[in-house]
Amino acid sequence: MRTLKKDKYIAAAVLTAIIFTLGLLMGLVINEYKIKYMEQLAKEQEVEFSSLQFQYLYLDSLEDYERCPVVSKTLENNLITLAPVLEEIERYEREGDLNDAAYITLKRKYILANLRYWLLAQVSKESCKNEIVTIFYFYSQECKNCHNQGITLTHLKQIFKDRLLIFPIDSGFGKEPMISILTTKYNITEFPTLVIEENIHPGFMSKDELLEHICSLYTTPQPECEGITSSQAR
Amino acid sequence: MIHITDILFWFIYAISLYTTIFIIMTLIEKRTSPKKEPLANPPKITVIVPAHNEEKTIKGTIESLLNLDYPKNLLDIIIINDGSEDNTKKIIEKYKSSQITIINQKNKGKGNALNRGLKLAKGKYVACLDADSFVEKDTLKLMLPHMDDPGISAVCPLMKVKNPKNLLEKSQWLEYILYAFIKMIMAKIHCINVTPGPFTIYRKKDIDSIGGFDETSIVEDQEIAYRLQSKHHKIAQSQEGNVYTVAPKTLKDLYIQRKRWYKGTIITFCQYRHMLLNKNYGDFGMFQLPALAAGMLTLPLVVLLFLNYTTIPIYKKLHQLYIINFDIIPYLTLERFNMHTLLTTSWLTTDFSKLFIVTLLLITSAALMIKAHIDTREKMGIKDITPLLFFFIIYYIILSFMWVGSIIELARGKGNKWS
């Protein structure tokens, strides 16, 4: 028989618990900051959106087409900052760091901002005759091929940069009425579905198919489309 | 949503944290160290050297024993040639003398060889020395004072790696230092679970009373420690007596050694499972064995996590490349490097709770490593940074893989014999 110092076991357990709690608390506090930062980001983004819209309307009313490229450029720059925002919002959702209400609000704001961008892009194209192709990408969280479609779209975005604007729409997100309006308008029944310049393409589109299609939509020859446009020229 | 890897992570953290805290608490406890004055009446000692195909090292082993600073008439050496097929027999025959007894037998295993030596031993104390290990001049003198406490049945040496050269040997050198240091701490609460083959000294009457070495065990030095613990015999850890052993130089040799150790660990653990969480066995039952069990479970998890963090991203990347027909040209342009974006995203994606505990564990490990070097009197310099990093980052992952390999072999019932 041997003696056992029970106190030590308990003390070690208490210390472990304290350190653990400290770690968790620190994580929670920093997460709070993260969320605040995200919200701040969203607010700044909103101001940015309204500013842009106003800028554009103002420039448009002046019919000063010389300034079109500047506007398009600003549009693109803001799209670049918008993409990581979505990634972050979705990461928070996955990890449950953000409560539902906060998440929904953030995501709605993001969706609306995106749609406003889309409207701006349409106007910009008409008035400025920009070489921009816009794609609505309808996806759902459960869909099998959406991940692959996402990869192809990211790849094409990498190729065409500011000449290709992609607007991802999470169709399963029912909290924003605009989404159901869009899915009804384009009669979306399966995922992924791509709406490329008002042409509806249900089902997964491979990189080559997409490239061919996008290339056919530019009015002037694009260096990335060399050797691809031929089949579309029929 | 909580991910399965997160649960595994927190589980590993909790166990590691508790174990580390317990060890540190034991470290700062007061201890009664043995007197350091020279022995007034040196006792008679018998050293048993079992040898099976040890032609490369046995000469040095015997020479180191003959070189011990101890009265010749009080030091007997018994060398058991356990059916060596190389030149071991030839080499040892040269040393035959009144002090050195040579026994040749058919290969019957290390446990059997040790028991044979034990029967012939006349000393009050018996030391075993693997034929690939070497003692220092004063090792014996430094270790013996522990035996002044009649409750102590065995004293473990301070085991170190002989002349570590390559990265793998250096990692083992660091591992042995850390392990020796942990053993010094665990000895304070009588929790030693291995009495290593290289120069553990046993009190002969105690080892006789528990029936000598287990000849069926593949890790007789672990089995006997458990048996001593199960009979409430105490095991001490020397802080001064150095023993140097040859460490495997290649991954293959290391794997052969570890497979035997790890399989043996599981077998012995199962053999003595009645001691697990049994208050009658004190800290050994309540801390050492549960910590060992947790370690046994954690190592496969380390393998899983490692695979999770390496293969899955690689697979994803390959899949991504496959989807875009491996068209990587658009990615070859130089992107504008944006420090601000990089900092923002890394800040947003870091899990600070995990980071906190990982950092804490790393700092503690580093501190323990430094303390281990001081206590074992091993020097660590700037040039040891590479082995240190290798040790902390890669070596443990290698060991984890070997551990999993050993479990699989054991489950398939392969090679549970000494080899």
Chain B residue numbers with beta carbons less than 8 Å from the beta carbon of A207 are 323-325, 327
According to the model, what pLDDT value does residue B299 have? 84
Q: What is the mean pLDDT of residues A225-234?
A: 57
- Best B5, B13, B16, B21 residue to mutate vs chain A (most A CBs within 10 Å): B21
Chain B residue numbers with beta carbons less than 8 Å from the beta carbon of A4 are 279, 282-283, 286
B182-217 pLDDT, tens digit each: 999 999 999 999 999 999 999 999 999 999 999 999
B217-260 pLDDT, tens digit each: 999 999 999 999 999 999 999 999 999 999 999 999 999 999 99
How many residues would you count in chain B?
Answer: 419
DSSP-assigned beta bridge partners for residue A137: A168, A194
State the pLDDT confidence band at A11, using cuts at 50, 70 and 90: very high
- Best A8, A82, A146, A225 residue to mutate vs chain B (most B CBs within 10 Å): A8
Report the percentage of chain B scoring pLDDT > 70: 91
State the pLDDT confidence band at A3, using cuts at 50, 70 and 90: confident
CB B125 within 8 A of CB B201: yes
Average pLDDT, chain A: 78
Q: Is the peptide bond before A192 cis (omega within 30 degrees of 0)?
A: yes
State the pLDDT confidence band at B175, using cuts at 50, 70 and 90: very high
Q: How many CB atoms lie within 10 A of CB A122?
A: 13
According to the model, what pLDDT value does residue A48 have? 67
In this structure, what token pair is assigned to residue A228?
């691809």
Average pLDDT, chain B: 89
Specify the CATH number for A131-234; select among 3.40.50.300, 3.40.30.10, 3.40.50.2300, 3.30.450.20.
3.40.30.10
Higher pLDDT, A104 or B264: B264
B155-170 pLDDT, tens digit each: 999 999 999 999 999 9
State the pLDDT confidence band at A35, using cuts at 50, 70 and 90: confident
Instruction: Say if residue B337 is exposed, middle or buried (CB neighbours under 10 Å; 0-12, 13-18, 19+).
Output: exposed
The rounded distance, in Å, linking the Cα atoms of B169 and A75 is: 60
CB B147 within 8 A of CB B135: no
DSSP-assigned beta bridge partners for residue B160: B244
Record: contact A27-B353, CB cut-off 8 A = yes
Higher pLDDT, A94 or A9: A9
Sheet strand arrangement including A164-170 = A164-170, A133-139, A193-196, A199-202
According to the model, what pLDDT value does residue A44 have? 73
Q: What is the mean pLDDT of residues B139-158?
A: 93
Strands A193-196 vs A199-202: parallel, antiparallel or unpaired: antiparallel
Higher pLDDT, B34 or B149: B149
B17-48 pLDDT, tens digit each: 999 999 999 999 876 666 666 677 899 999 99
A84-88, B9-13, B220-224, B262-266: range with lowest mean pLDDT: A84-88
Residue among B81, B86, B79 nearest B55 (CA):
B86
According to the model, what pLDDT value does residue B49 have? 97
Q: What is the mean pLDDT of residues A18-41?
A: 83
What ipTM did this prediction achieve? 0.83
Higher pLDDT, B335 or A7: A7
Strands A164-170 vs B200-203: parallel, antiparallel or unpaired: unpaired
- Domain edges within chain A: 36-130, 131-234
A122-131, B7-16, B61-70: range with lowest mean pLDDT: A122-131
State the pLDDT confidence band at B4, using cuts at 50, 70 and 90: confident
A7-21, B8-22, B101-115: range with lowest mean pLDDT: B8-22
Radius of gyration of chain B (CA): 24
A128-143 pLDDT, tens digit each: 777 888 899 998 888 8
According to the model, what pLDDT value does residue A233 have? 41
According to the model, what pLDDT value does residue B111 have? 95
Strands A133-139 vs A164-170: parallel, antiparallel or unpaired: parallel
According to the model, what pLDDT value does residue B105 have? 95
According to the model, what pLDDT value does residue B35 have? 62
Give the best-scoring range by mean pLDDT among A151-165, A191-205, B320-334: A191-205
CB B51 within 8 A of CB B80: yes
Q: What is the mean pLDDT of residues A86-91?
A: 61
Structure letter (DSSP) for residue B158: E
B97-107 pLDDT, tens digit each: 999 999 999 99
Reduce the DSSP state of residue B153 to 3 states and report it.
strand
State the pLDDT confidence band at B419, using cuts at 50, 70 and 90: very low
Query: What is the residue type of B243?
Result: V
Binding-site residues on chain A for chain B (CB distance < 8 A): 1-5, 8-9, 11-13, 15-16, 19-20, 22-24, 26-28, 30-31, 34, 37-38, 84, 88, 91, 94-96, 148, 151-152, 155, 158-159, 207-208
Nearest to B282 among A4, A12, A208 (CB): A4
Cβ contacts from A onto B, under 8 A: 90
B270-304 pLDDT, tens digit each: 999 999 999 999 999 999 999 999 999 888 888 88
Q: What is the mean pLDDT of residues A134-154?
A: 86
Chain A residue numbers with beta carbons less than 8 Å from the beta carbon of B235 are none
State the pLDDT confidence band at A75, using cuts at 50, 70 and 90: low
Reduce the DSSP state of residue B81 to 3 states and report it.
strand
Helix (H) or strand (E) segment spanning residue B201: strand B200-203
Record: contact B323-A155, CB cut-off 8 A = yes
